[in-house]
Structures are given as structure tokens and as C-alpha cells.
């Protein structure tokens, strides 16, 4: 079938919850994707920051193929070897003490929320605690994750949501201080806000919140689902600040295409929170995703992928800054490492759509930010190619 036929079939059968681009992708190689008609696309979206190692990484593929031939699923009633190795590597990379593997980032957020609530229940002997989240944040679309997502557009149709959530302003420490009371059990935010417009946390904000949490026995939860796994030049973005969370979430590039997430915590939190019967998952941490996460973490450490990001990111920043200088309607660049955004006064949706015609995949963040989250293996030549393609689009509008 041609692309039009595939799209027609999809619209007939799949629930219309996405306004998809008019494109049917078939296979990938390195940092390029190819559609069903064979057209090539330079990928600066990476499946929304998932494909950190690019496409058709033979070592990764072979690890999955070998596990498929051995064992796919056992449930969590039993141990399995791959997830033991993956947990050990993830602990070492993060400096955290305990890991729970989930099927997605949203589920990781759900687990983090439950961890905070159980910790406070154990501490105080009663329920009814509150969480402080940030405006313009995005943590997922399940009801719990949606409850701490600071965007009314996503929330309103599904209210009432989980009670006891208050929203502060990201990077405004005083706005958080004003909301803390004896019921507060956790403060949650993305170390680098993604959907909200690519805003990194300031040093003053994250250090200030760590101090507030320590003083009040409140858990600091950092969402590293999009900005973690090497994307900022450290394995996790919070490592730039030297401020360790009590609980953190990971997903996306943790599996590099295989659906896996995780929430991690310190030993102190583990001892006072989730116990057998408090939380569970049938598929989470199965042998297949364990093999994937184990291999991803092995490659990232061995090949120093975060170090490569630190080398290439300044060049990408320089080239994006040049676009800000050149085009009046491109007003700012912001980001960290290989999660970058350009603020545009012209439709970013239109820019992203026209970029496809040029053989370039980019995505948006919010209503006015063009988002760049390429595979972490890109080189300077790929940055140059992206800029050339993007300029054709910017000139045309």
C-alpha cells in the first residue's frame, strides 16, 4: 500500500486522539528515518526524545533478539536476570538506591506520587497530604499524572482529579514557599520543563527547594523522563546542579524504543514508603525491557554518550542562536544539552509541517516553541544539515 492507503486505514480503525503528521514511517538507520515511499528524513525528534542511540543500532538489536529467543515474560512473582542487571546499572548511573520498573513514564509518575503519599502516611500516621507541582508542567495523561500537570487545557474535561495538589510558578522559589504547610508531602517538577517550553531549572530554584524539603521532611521528586538519560550532557539533568532528589522518574530513552519506565528513590524513602501490596505491575520489568534497558545503559556508559552530548551541544546552540539573530520572528533559544527550543512568533506547527516537506523531523513544545530533541549520537554535520533544511522552511514563511 502507499502512504495514503495506510493513513486512510489508520483513520478508519485507530481512535483519533492524535493529530498526526501526514507521514507513514517504515524504517530507520542512524539518525535518519524513511517513509513507506522511501523518502529520507533527518530526525531531530527522536520519537519525542526516546531514540537516544538512533535507529538500527546492531548491538542493541542483537541484545533484544537474543532475549526474545530466551524469555519475554514471567510476572513479578519471580526474579529475572536482565532486570537485575538493568537495576544495578540504573542505580550506578543515578546514585539512587532503589528502583521500580514500570511500562511508561506516566506510570513512573504514578509510582512516585504513591511513594510520597505512603512516606507521609508512615511519618504522620494519617492520610490527607498535599503535593506542590508547577504551572506549565507536563507529567502524563493518566489521572494521577494529570493531577500534577499544570495545564488546565489537559485537565478540565477529566475533573475532578486527585485532590490536594497546589501549583506554584516554575523557577519562582517564593511561590513554592507560600504553598508549603503541614500537609505538604512532596514537591514535583521537571528538571527541564519539556512541553511547557524547554525551561531548565535555575540553580537558585533547585537548591532552594532541596533546602526547603530537608527542613520540612518533604520529598523532592524530579521528573527526568524527557531530560534524563544523557540528554543534557549528564546522565540525569539534576546532576548538573549537584542536588539529589528523594525520588526521580525515568522513561523514554531508558528503553530506546522499548516501552519501559522507572521510578527510583533513596534508601530512606524506600524504608518508609512502599511495601508488598502497596504497588505492582504485571508487565513492568519483564525480561525483554530489562535486556533493553541494560544494553542502553551499558552503551551509554561505555561510549560516554553524555560526554558526546557535551561536545556537540554547544555547536547546536551556536547554530540556533544564529537563527535567532537572523530572523526577527525567532525571538529566543533556550534549553540544555540536546533538549533545545526556539521561540517563534510564527506558527511552530506550520514550521514543523513544512519541515517534513524538506526531509526534516522536528516537533513543538507548547504553542510557540520549536523543539529539538535529536538522537544523542548526532554529529556536527547533522546539525549543519538540519539548519540548512530548517532555513529553507523559515525563508518560505
pLDDT single digits (tens) 49-82: 999 999 999 999 999 999 999 999 999 999 999 9
Establish if 92 belongs to a structural domain. yes
Q: Residue 168, exposed/middle/buried by CB under 10 A (0-12, 13-18, 19+)?
A: buried
Whole-number Å distance between alpha carbons of 139 and 159: 16
| Tens-digit pLDDT profile for residues 178-215 | 999 999 999 999 999 999 999 999 999 999 999 999 99
Among the candidates 279, 302, 325, a domain finishes at 302
Domain count within the chain: 2
Q: Residue 164, exposed/middle/buried by CB under 10 A (0-12, 13-18, 19+)?
A: middle
pLDDT value at residue 32: 98
**pLDDT exceeds cutoff 90 at 1:** no
Residue from 251, 297, 290, 314 nearest 108 by CA: 251
Same domain as 295, residue 346? no
Establish if 51 belongs to a structural domain. yes
**pLDDT exceeds cutoff 90 at 320:** yes
| Tens-digit pLDDT profile for residues 257-310 | 999 999 999 999 999 999 999 999 999 999 999 999 999 999 999 999 999 999
Establish if 64 belongs to a structural domain. no
- Read off the C-alpha cell for 359: 526531509
The separation between CA 75 and the C-alpha centre of its own chain, rounded to angstroms, equals 26
Using 50, 70 and 90 to split pLDDT, how confident is the model at 130?
very high
C-alpha distances out from residue 188 to 119, 218, 249, Å? 15, 10, 10
Mean pLDDT of 113-140: 97
pLDDT value at residue 397: 87
Which of left, alpha, beta for 261 (phi over 0: left; psi -120 to 50: alpha)? Answer: beta
Percentage of the chain exceeding pLDDT 70:
100
Establish if 66 belongs to a structural domain. no
pLDDT value at residue 134: 98
Mean pLDDT of 159-183: 98
Domain at 123, CATH number: 3.40.640.10
Q: What residues contact 33, with CB distance under 8 A and at least 6 apart?
A: 25, 27, 40, 41, 43, 55, 361
Domain holding 323, by residue range, is: 3-57+305-396
pTM for this entry:
0.97
Amino acid at each position: 500500500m502507499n502512504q495514503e492507503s495506510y493513513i486512510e486505514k489508520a483513520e478508519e480503525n485507530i481512535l483519533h486522539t492524535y493529530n498526526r503528521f501526514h507521514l507513514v514511517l517504515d524504517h530507520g538507520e542512524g539518525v535518519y528515518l524513511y517513509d513507506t515511499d522511501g523518502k529520507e528524513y533527518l530526525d531531530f525528534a527522536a520519537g519525542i526524545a526516546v531514540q537516544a542511540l538512533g535507529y538500527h543500532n546492531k548491538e542493541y538489536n542483537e541484545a533484544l533478539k537474543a532475549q526474545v529467543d530466551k524469555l519475554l515474560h514471567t510476572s513479578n512473582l519471580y526474579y529475572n536476570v536482565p532486570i537485575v542487571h538493568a537495576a544495578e546499572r540504573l542505580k550506578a548511573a543515578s546514585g539512587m538506591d532503589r528502583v521500580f520498573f514500570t511500562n511508561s513514564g506516566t506510570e513512573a509518575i504514578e509510582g512516585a506520587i504513591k511513594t510520597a503519599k505512603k512516606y507521609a502516611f508512615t511519618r504522620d500516621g494519617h492520610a490527607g497530604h498535599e503535593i506542590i507541582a508547577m504551572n506549565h508542567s507536563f507529567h502524563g495523561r493518566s489521572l494521577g499524572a494529570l493531577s500534577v500537570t499544570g495545564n488546565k487545557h489537559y485537565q478540565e474535561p477529566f475533573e475532578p482529579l486527585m485532590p490536594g495538589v497546589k501549583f506554584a510558578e516554575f523557577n519562582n522559589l517564593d511561590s513554592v514557599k507560600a504553598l508549603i504547610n503541614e500537609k505538604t508531602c512532596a514537591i514535583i517538577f521537571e528538571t527541564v520543563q519539556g512541553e511547557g517550553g524547554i525551561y531548565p531549572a535555575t540553580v537558585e530554584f533547585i537548591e532552594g527547594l532541596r533546602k526547603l524539603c530537608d527542613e520540612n521532611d518533604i520529598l523532592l521528586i524530579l521528573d527526568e523522563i524527557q531530560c534524563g538519560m544523557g540528554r543534557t550532557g549528564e546522565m540525569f539533568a539534576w546532576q548538573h546542579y549537584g542536588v539529589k532528589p528523594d525520588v526521580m522518574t525515568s522513561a523514554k530513552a531508558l528503553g530506546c524504543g522499548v516501552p519501559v519506565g522507572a521510578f527510583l528513590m533513596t534508601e530512606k524513602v524506600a524504608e518508609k514508603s512502599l511495601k508488598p501490596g502497596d504497588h505492582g505491575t504485571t508487565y513492568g520489568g519483564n525480561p525483554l525491557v530489562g535486556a533493553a534497558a541494560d544494553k542502553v545503559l551499558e552503551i551509554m556508559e561505555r561510549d560516554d554518550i553524555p560526554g558526546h552530548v557535551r561536545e556537540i551541544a554547544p555547536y547546536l546552540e551556536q547554530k540556533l542562536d544564529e537563527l535567532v539573530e537572523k530572523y526577527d520572528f525567532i525571538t529566543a533559544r533556550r534549553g540544555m544539552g540536546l533538549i533545545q527550543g526556539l521561540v517563534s512568533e510564527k506558527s511552530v506547527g506550520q514550521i514543523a509541517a513544512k519541515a517534513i516537506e524538506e526531509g526534516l523531523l522536528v516537533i513543538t513544545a507548547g504553542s510557540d516553541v520549536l523543539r529539538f530533541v535529536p538522537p544523542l549520537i548526532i554529529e556536527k554535520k547533522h546539525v549543519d544539515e538540519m539548519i540548512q533544511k530548517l532555513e529553507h522552511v523559515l525563508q518560505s514563511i
